[in-house]
Amino acid sequence: MRTVSIWPPASARPPRPPLLAIVGRDFRTYACPLIIHGEADPMARLIAGVETAKAIPGARLVTYPGMGHDLPRELWPSMLDHLRELADSAVDA
Please name every residue paired with 60 in a beta bridge, in sequence order, or none if there are none: 34
- Superfamily in which the 10-92 domain is placed by CATH: Alpha/Beta hydrolase fold, catalytic domain (3.40.50.1820)
How far is it, in rounded angstroms, from Cα 41 to Cα 3? Answer: 27
pLDDT value of position 22: 45
Q: What is the DSSP letter of 37?
A: E
Quick: pLDDT tens for 19-42: 544 445 555 555 678 999 999 999
Kindly indicate the confidence band of residue 75, based on its pLDDT and cuts at 50, 70 and 90: very high
Alpha helices in 1-93 (DSSP H): 19-23, 46-55, 76-92
Residue of higher predicted confidence among 40 and 90: 40
